[in-house]
Chain A
Amino acid sequence: MGKTADLLPGTLDMLILKAVSLKPLHGYGVLLRIQQISGDALEIPQGSLYPALYRLEHQELIAAEWGVSDNNRRAKYYTLTPAGRHRLREETAGWNRLASAITSALNATPEEV
């Protein structure tokens, strides 16, 4: 396991939306998926995952439905709603703008100033 980074505030919602957008997942699945797609680089505080899921469901960005897990247990599965898809696109674009701006700022050299 490599070195893990703390989440930036406000990015958890975006990551959950991304994780759910790939495939319907239950809560624990969301946690695993985020770790997986971030190459185990991000550590999600487990306690804040569920409030975040509930908040997103409250905003109707994701929808929940009870289903059966791989090991045949009842589990609540989350899927992305159209509104959630829209939000994910917006957040991704916003993040990319921010990231490239910060990257270019950090790459500045004395000659460019």
Chain B
Amino acid sequence: MLKRLRSLFRVLKSRSGFEQGMTEEIRFHIEQYTDDLVRSGVSTQEAARRARIEFGGLNRVQEDCREARGLRTFDELRRQLRHAGRLLRKSPGFTATALLTLAVCLGANLTMFAVIDSILLRPLPFPEAGRLVTVFNSYPKASVDRDGSSVTNYYERRGKIPALASLSIYRNGTAVVGDPGSTEREPSAKVSPEFFATLETGPAVGRAFTEAETSFQTDRVVILTDPYWRQHFNADTGVIGRQIRVDGIPNTVVGVLPPDFRFLSSKARLYFPFSSSLEDRGPRQRHSGGNYKHLIARLKPGATLDQAQAQIDAQNAALEMDDSRAKMLADAGFRSVVAPLQADHVASIRPTLLWMQAGALTLLLIGAVNLTNLLLIRANSRLKEMAVRQALGASRWHVVSEVVVETTLLTLTGGLLGLAIGAVVVRLLRLMGADRLPLGSYIAVDGRMACAAVLGSVVLGVAIAIPIAWFNLRGPCANAIQSETRGGTSSRAAQGLRHGFIVAQIALALVLLAGAGLLGLSLEKVMAVSPGFRPDHVLTGQISVPWNKYPNWTSRLTFNARLMESVTRQPGVSAAAIVNNVPLSGNSGKSAATVKGYVRRPGETLRAHYSYGVDGDYFTAMGFSLREGRFLTAADSRRPERVCVVDEDFARYYWPGVNAIGKQLNPGGDAAVDAELFTVVGIVGAVKQSALTDQIAQGAVYYPYALRRDDNLFVVVRASLPPESLGPVLQRLIREIDPELPVNDLRSMDTRIADSLVTRRSPALLAAIFSGIALLLTAVGTYGVLSYAVAQRRREIGVRMALGAQPSQIRAQFLALALRLLSAGTGLGILGAWFIGKAMQTLLFQVPALHIATLTAAATVTGIITLVACLLPSHRAAQISPMEALAEP
């Protein structure tokens, strides 16, 4: 097979050379034979005649030779391609419509394919990535579904779980890198020594971290990513052993990662050792994952996920035997979950992406149906030609292959145009925030997308050809030839097929429109949700205050006080605060709190609450509402009295109907001595913490700043100026206090809220675009089919009008046909929309599956557009002049 293809390819490379050679070779043969005959005594003329006769029919021999080289099919294909090309050029209007339809529909699908391929399908860029898993702790009954893993988990599990070949812990963070005055906040990650070995992708230059580098005293080493190395060290391989300042302290470069290294969606440009103290690794810290430390592991070859899960379950059970908190953990439904790394990483976005692809496929279906209808109409006008050709001996194979070649030529051209559209749209996706999706920054136009384009186009071409070929073949030859020259009414079956397609189109467009409506409605509902604070005029930015430079609370509080003072002195600034986290930042952490004197009801578990450490006028700056008592102020962080503020959900849960002011609580899961308790001094309104769609009243506690050990802090500023304009000012003020501290992630709270909606806004927008196109296609399709019906029946209409039918009767007849199709389509569409609404429930927010208003609106829009598309042909039918129609040849 390969040999023959190779040989065919050689010939095709120089087709004219082949023909020439063949002619020359045969001429040589005949001349040689003639010469031999002459030599044996035959006359020259007679010799030439005999040579030709004995050789046989020249054309026949040449055709046999071509077939012997496998050229016949190819020649046939070329002929048919030329024929198809001529046909398409002959009707530019039809060709343009078809190509545009295909380009748009295939473009939409190819774009979605590129997204799904990069996010869901393509394996992570590591050897045998299918064996990579993640392990996280889950406390579902305490409404914490996911809490990362603790350092203790890592040390207790590594080397102890037989199904795992290697296990590693990491956390993402930010490092302040560079010399004083030119520091930058660089995204970074801290990883345990076997991190790169687990991924089986190690530093290209230098080495990975060692076990000795995991203590706070010995961890001054760094591994650079390739982009950082190129940017800052000009790709110098002598970089190993050089030093860079990180958080004000020199770190030694020990390795550089390969160019294509990328770990999930991490933007880390520098890797540091994950250091911990012996205390961090002890059993008391076993459950302090906090959802920012994560485990990854590689299954041993042959080991399964279930084995790893069973072994970890067994280990957890054994460890709980002598854990004083065993009862509490059991109440919280504690379990460590092993999940495939990639699937787990993209799980949140998976259903949305699949629905979007389904939408794109529906669009393609509508487009394909449209095209099939247009082609059927054309085939009908060529019915006689087909019948004559078949009667004259054209084989069925020939008729079919001709149709397939024509449709495939169309779809391939459309597919290439679609690929171009897709390439543009993929770039536009970034503007829609696609790079904030998991793995979303790796969406790219590449060979796989091109392959999908070609493959998809060919499949589509063949699929569209099937009904056309069927129609061409079944056209009863004799009837078609005999039927009246001017064309009577078209065959019932063909008409039924066309009308069925119109009904399907209307139904599909309606489903798409209703789906888009539901998504839009949910987006509107989400956007109407009040976040619980006033997000306007608030600027937020992140800074890292390193512990090695500000080692105690006094120095840290002094830094905070100086910063807030200089910020509030700026014109227009009304309040400033420093806080360890802000709502909707995407990294909200929950932790337990124990309320003094509260006895849990039987079966009730320990609850996790959002907890914050605040300094300055946080509540004023963020625009919280005060329910009772007072806000925390900067002074609360600088006084020995332990006070806190809780939100109304928290107060309502623990002290229903009782004034919460003056009550006491303790952070963490254990009871504490009275002196360590925090007294509630204020109750604030609840805010949306992790997303605007938060449904559970989880409760939140706000402690004075000095309670939490975070390096990473948010600066919050409320000003009467546009918040973004304050960014440079804030940067300058921070540098004035400490030239080594950069600020980044400067965004207004309004922007943060908008960004948190990216997975709702983009699908709603895409669905709206899809359904707009679908409506347009349906209108074009309906118009085309009805116009054709009118043109077909010109004579009939002419006769009827000559016999006294009124134009209004004719118009009504066609409108009635349109209405019949429309009502069938709408009926089916409503059924479909209901079904889709039910299936889409997980994507929707406070919208029922059968939303009458949306459905009615969608049906009305579809109906109006379809009817408008029908009006013109119906009107034209009524305008037919009987004289002209009957006089036509």
Residues of A bordering B, CB below 8 Å: 26-28, 31, 45-48, 50-52, 54-55, 57-60, 66, 69, 73-76
> Within 8 Å CB of B310, what residues of A?
none
Which 3 interchain pairs have the tightest Cβ spacing? A47-B56, A54-B68, A51-B64
Question: B61's closest neighbor in chain A, by CB?
Answer: A47
Given contacts A26-B25, A57-B7, A60-B3, 13 further A-B contacts (CB under 8 A): A27-B28, A28-B28, A47-B55, A47-B56, A51-B64, A54-B68, A58-B4, A58-B8, A59-B4, A59-B7, A74-B28, A75-B25, A76-B25
Given the known interface contacts A57-B7, A58-B69, A60-B7, the answer about A28 and B61 at a Cβ–Cβ threshold of 8 Å is no
Q: Let me know if B32 and A47 touch, CB within 8 A.
A: no
Measured in the bound complex, the distance between the Cα atoms of B20 and A66 in whole Å is 12
- Contact status A46-B67, CB under 8 Å: no
Q: How far is the CA of A60 from the CA of B65 in the complex (A)?
A: 15
Please tell me if B500 contacts chain A, counting CB pairs below 8 Å.
no
Give the residues from 16 to 40 in chain B that come closer than 8 angstroms, CB to CB, to chain A: 21-22, 24-26, 28-29, 32-33
Decide if A50 touches B70 in the complex (CB within 8 Å): no
Q: Given A58-B4, A58-B7, is A47 in contact with B60 using a C-beta cutoff of 8 Å?
A: yes
Q: Is B674 an interface residue (CB 8 A)?
A: no
Q: Is the CB of A58 within 8 A of B68?
A: yes
Look across to chain A and name the residue whose beta carbon is closest to the beta carbon of B21: A76
Report yes or no: A28 in contact with B33, Cβ–Cβ below 8 A. yes
**B213 → chain A, closest Cβ, in Å?**
62
- Given that A47-B56, A51-B68, A76-B21 are known contacts, is A26 also in contact with B7, CB under 8 Å in the complex? no
Over the window 244-267 of chain B, the binary record of Cβ atoms lying under 8 Å from chain A Cβ atoms (1 yes, 0 no) is 000000000000000000000000
Distance in angstroms between the alpha carbons of A51 and B64 in the assembled complex: 6
Distance to closest chain A CB from B37 (angstroms)? 12
Residues B25 and A50 in contact, CB atoms below 8 Å apart: yes
- Interface residue tally on B, bucketed by range: 20 to 34
Query: By the criterion CB–CB under 8 Å, are B29 and A46 in contact?
Result: yes
Residues of B within 8 A of A66 (CB): 21
Contacts A27-B29, A75-B25, A75-B28 known; A50 to B7 CB distance under 8 Å? no
Q: Are B70 and A58 in contact (CB under 8 A)?
A: yes
Do the beta carbons of B60 and A57 come within 8 Å of each other?
no
Determine the distance from Cα of A52 to Cα of B7 in the docked complex, in whole angstroms.
Answer: 15
Q: Please measure, in the bound complex, the distance between the C-alpha atom of A86 and the C-alpha atom of B60, giving whole angstroms.
A: 31
Residues in B with CB closer than 8 Å to A52 are: 68
Q: How far is the CA of A66 from the CA of B18 in the complex (A)?
A: 12
Structural contact, B25 and A27, CB atoms closer than 8 A: yes
Q: How far is the CB of B40 from chain A (nearest CB, A)?
A: 11
Q: Is the CB of B57 within 8 A of A47?
A: yes
CA distance A55 to B22 in the complex (A): 13
CB distance from B9 to the nearest CB of A (A): 11
Question: CA–CA, A28 to B105, complex, Å?
Answer: 58
B contact patch SS: helix
Q: Is the CB of A51 within 8 A of B28?
A: no
* Candidates B6, B57, B65; contact of A50 at CB < 8 Å: B65
Contact A28 to B67, CB < 8 A, known contacts A50-B26, A59-B3, A59-B4: no
Could you say which residues of chain A place their CB within 8 Å of the CB of B236? none
A54 near B61: Cβ-Cβ < 8 Å? no
Interface pair B61/A51, CB less than 8 Å apart: yes
CA distance A47 to B67 in the complex (A): 14
- Minimum Cβ distance to chain B for residue A33 (Å): 13
Residues of A within 8 A of B54 (CB): 46
Q: List 17 A-B contacts (CB under 8 A).
A: A26-B28, A27-B25, A46-B55, A47-B55, A47-B56, A47-B61, A50-B22, A50-B25, A50-B61, A52-B68, A54-B69, A57-B7, A58-B4, A58-B70, A59-B4, A59-B7, A60-B7
Q: Which chain A residues lie closer than 8 Å to B60 at the CB level?
A: 47
Chain A residues, Cβ within 8 Å of B21: 66, 76
Of B6, B8, B64, B70, the most chain A CB neighbours within 10 A belong to B64
How many Å from the CB of B636 to the closest CB on chain A? 89
The interface residues of chain A lying within 8 Å CB-to-CB of B3 are 59-60
Distance A48 CA – B25 CA, assembled complex (angstroms): 14
A66 to B21, alpha carbons, bound, how many Å?
9
B65-89 interface bits toward A, Cβ cutoff 8 Å, 1 = contact, 0 = none: 1011110000000000000000000
Give Cα A48 to B29, complex, Å: 13
Q: Which chain B residues border A60 with CB–CB below 8 Å? A: 3, 6-7
CB 8 Å contact bits of B575-596 with A (1 = contact, 0 = none): 0000000000000000000000
Contact B64 A50 (CB under 8 A): yes
Expressed in whole angstroms, the minimum distance between the Cβ of A9 and any Cβ of chain B is 16
Residue of A nearest to B67 (CB): A51
Which residues of B have CB within 8 Å of A31?
29
Instruction: Provide the bound-state CA to CA distance between A51 and B63, in Å.
Output: 9
- Chain B positions 508 through 532: 1 when the CB is less than 8 Å from some CB of chain A, otherwise 0: 0000000000000000000000000
Nearest A-chain residue to B60, judged by Cβ: A47
Q: Whose C-beta in chain A lies nearest to the C-beta of B11?
A: A58
- The reply to whether B55 and A55 contact each other, CB–CB distance below 8 Å, is no
- In the bound assembly, the distance between CA atoms of A75 and B30 in angstroms comes to 12
Interface centre among A31, A54, A73, A75 (most CB of B within 10 A): A54
**Distance in Å from the Cβ of B655 to the closest Cβ of chain A?**
91
A75 to B60, CA, bound (A): 22
Q: Which residues of A contact B29 (CB under 8 A)?
A: 27-28, 31, 46, 50
Instruction: State the Cβ distance, A4 to closest chain B Cβ, in Å.
Output: 13
Contact pick for B32, options A28, A45, A55, A57, CB 8 Å: A28
Cα A99 to Cα B596 with chains together (Å): 108
Report Cα–Cα, A26/B65, bound state, in Å: 16
List B726-781 residues whose CB lies under 8 Å from chain A: none
A97–B8 Cα distance when bound, in Å, is 35
Q: Bound state CA distance, A46 and B26, in angstroms? A: 10
B residues within 8 A CB of A47?
A: 55-57, 60-61, 64
Output the nearest chain B residue to A47 by Cβ-Cβ distance. Answer: B56
Q: Is B24 a contact partner of A74 (Cβ separation < 8 A)?
A: yes
Asked if A54 contacts B65 (CB within 8 A), the reply is: yes
Nearest residue, chain A, Cβ from B6: A60
Q: How many Å lie between the Cα of A87 and that of B68 in the bound state? A: 18
Q: How far is the CA of A103 from the CA of B2 in the complex (A)?
A: 39
Cα(A76)–Cα(B26), bound, Å:
10
**Distance in Å: Cβ of A100 to nearest Cβ of chain B:** 32
> Once the chains are docked, how many angstroms separate the CA of A26 from the CA of B25?
9
* A56-B193 Cα distance, complex, nearest whole Å: 64
CB distance from A17 to the nearest CB of B (A): 15
Closest B residue by C-beta to A61: B3
Quote the shortest CB–CB distance from B626 to chain A (angstroms). 90
> B67: which A residues are within 8 A, CB to CB?
51
Residues from chain B with a CB closer than 8 A to the CB of A45 are 56
Bound Cα distance A45, B8 (Å): 26
How many angstroms between the C-alpha atoms of A60 and B57 in the bound complex?
27
Write the nearest CB–CB distance from B48 to chain A, whole angstroms: 14
C-alpha gap A52/B31 in the complex (Å): 20
- Cα(A76)–Cα(B24), bound, Å: 9
Query: How many angstroms from the CA of A75 to the CA of B27 in the assembled complex?
Result: 10
Closest residue of chain A to B29 (Cβ to Cβ) is A28
Q: What residue in chain A is nearest B32 (Cβ atoms)?
A: A28
When distances are taken between beta carbons in the complex, the residues of chain A under 8 Å from B69 are 54-55, 57-58
> Roughly how many angstroms separate A27 CA and B29 CA in the complex, as a whole number?
7
Chain A residues lying within 8 Å of B4, measured Cβ to Cβ, are: 58-59
Closest Cβ of chain B to A42, distance in Å, is 15
Q: Give A66 to B32 CA distance when docked, in angstroms.
A: 16
Q: Could you tell me the distance between the alpha carbons of A28 and B22 in the complex, rounded to whole angstroms?
A: 13
**Bound form: Cα–Cα A54–B66 in Å:** 8
